[in-house]
């Protein structure tokens, strides 16, 4: 079995860029480490979150330039409500600010915005802003930016299960006819391809309830850098690491099958 480092090596200056044929179509990002970034500088945590928004703007531009088609970013989890009320309120304020400030610019660059996560327990004005961001960019054909807000994979799977159970009770779907595709289509990410590459910053090596169904065969890169310091070079390093990975999806790679034939 070939083992690969879970942490991307820093890309040496001048190292060749990955070829487009090895680029991920869909990148998912756990933007973590804002608070620690700020605390290490003697700043309030909210300052880390503000700088985090700047890093997100740069990531969208860099991903778009490199031809990435789908970018999913984890901006607020269903468990982040457990934080002090002041921080939660500041994070909601930043989301409002981002949607009001950035969506027009994103739309001008042909970006389609989609939001995943539970909607029914959000403040009304946020619900309206999220809908507006989606409808005003729905026709755009460039990069799809998927913002995971009030998102948790367990909550998403629970809601999808409720949707399917309601269909079964209504007689619209038979239990014996259910396939993986039914569950895939009942998730918030319906219609989107699974992520090819997951990047998590801040040195934590866990999913924290992110896209648990969709990440089944995703390549993962964990970086020690705090999210506000994530830049285009860090993205390129992760892309190079991704291009070296050999994906098998449970099957055999070309090399392995040749090897099997020769030794059989
Ligand atoms: C990620 O940074 C942003 C959110 C979770 C909203 P954190 O706020 O988790 O920063 P750390 O992990 O405490 O440093
Ligand atoms: C995951 O980060 C959520 C986001 C980045 C939005 P957390 O900081 O909430 O995750 P844990 O608590 O360290 O696992
Ligand atoms: Mg964190």
For the chain, domains (ranges, CATH) are: 22-153+192-263 (3.40.1180.10)
Q: Is 196 a catalytic residue?
A: no
Rounded to the nearest angstrom, the distance between the alpha carbon of 144 and the centre of ligand 3 is 25
Catalytic residue among 80, 185, 209, 236: 80
In the predicted model, what is the mean pLDDT of residues 182-206?
A: 98
pTM of the model: 0.91
Ligand 1 binding pocket includes 34 (Cβ within 6 Å): yes
**Closest Cα to residue 212, out of 140, 116, 126, 144?**
116
pLDDT band at 17 (very low <50, low <70, confident <90, very high): low
166 Cβ partners below 8 Å, 6+ apart?
Answer: none
Ligand 2 site: residues with CB under 6 angstroms?
30-32, 74-77, 80, 204, 206, 208
pLDDT cut 90: percent of the chain above it: 87
* pLDDT over threshold 50, residue 244: yes
Ligand 1 binding pocket includes 202 (Cβ within 6 Å): yes
Long-range contacts of 47-55, Cβ-Cβ distance < 8 Å, separation of 24 or more: 48/226, 48/227, 48/228, 49/90, 49/91, 49/94, 50/94, 51/228, 52/227, 52/228, 53/94, 53/97, 53/98, 54/228, 55/31, 55/227, 55/228, 55/229, 55/230, 55/231
In the predicted model, what is the mean pLDDT of residues 180-205?
A: 98
Rounded to the nearest angstrom, the distance between the alpha carbon of 32 and the centre of ligand 3 is 5
Dig out the tokens for 59 from the structure. 């990531």
Task: Please name the residue whose Cα sits nearest to atom 12 of ligand 1.
Answer: 33
**Burial, 197: exposed, middle or buried (Cβ in 10 Å; 0-12, 13-18, 19+)?**
buried
* pLDDT over threshold 60, residue 233: yes
pLDDT at 36: 98
Q: Is 124 a catalytic residue?
A: no
Rounded to the nearest angstrom, the distance between the alpha carbon of 35 and the centre of ligand 1 is 5
Dig out the tokens for 179 from the structure. 């396939």
Using one digit for the tens of pLDDT, what is the confidence trace for 52-100? 999 999 999 999 999 999 999 999 999 999 999 999 999 999 999 999 9
């Amino acid at each position: 079995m070939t083992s690969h480092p879970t942490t991307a090596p820093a890309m040496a200056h001048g190292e060749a860029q990955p070829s487009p044929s090895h680029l991920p179509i869909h990148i998912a990002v756990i933007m973590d480490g804002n608070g620690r970034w700020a605390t290490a500088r003697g700043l309030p945590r909210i300052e880390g979150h503000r700088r985090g928004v700047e890093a997100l703007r740069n990531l969208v531009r860099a991903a778009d330039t490199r031809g990435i088609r789908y970018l999913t970013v984890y901006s607020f989890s269903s468990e982040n409500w457990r934080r002090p009320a002041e921080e939660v309120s500041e994070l909601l304020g930043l989301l409002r600010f981002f949607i009001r400030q950035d969506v027009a610019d994103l739309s001008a660059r042909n970006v389609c915005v989609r939001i995943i996560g539970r909607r029914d327990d959000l403040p009304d004005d946020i619900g309206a802003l999220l809908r507006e961001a989606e409808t005003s960019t729905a026709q755009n054909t460039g990069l799809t930016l998927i913002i995971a807000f009030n998102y948790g994979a367990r909550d998403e799977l629970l809601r999808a299960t409720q949707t399917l159970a309601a269909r079964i009770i209504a007689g619209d779907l038979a239990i014996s006819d259910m396939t993986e595709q039914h569950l895939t289509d009942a998730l918030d990410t319906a219609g989107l391809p699974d992520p090819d590459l997951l990047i998590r910053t801040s040195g934590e090596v866990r999913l924290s309830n992110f896209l648990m169904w969709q990440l089944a065969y995703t390549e993962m890169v964990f970086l020690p850098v705090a999210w506000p310091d994530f830049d285009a070079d860090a993205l390129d390093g992760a892309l190079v690491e991704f291009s070296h990975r050999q994906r098998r999806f449970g099957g055999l790679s070309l090399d392995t099958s040749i090897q099997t034939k020769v030794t059989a």
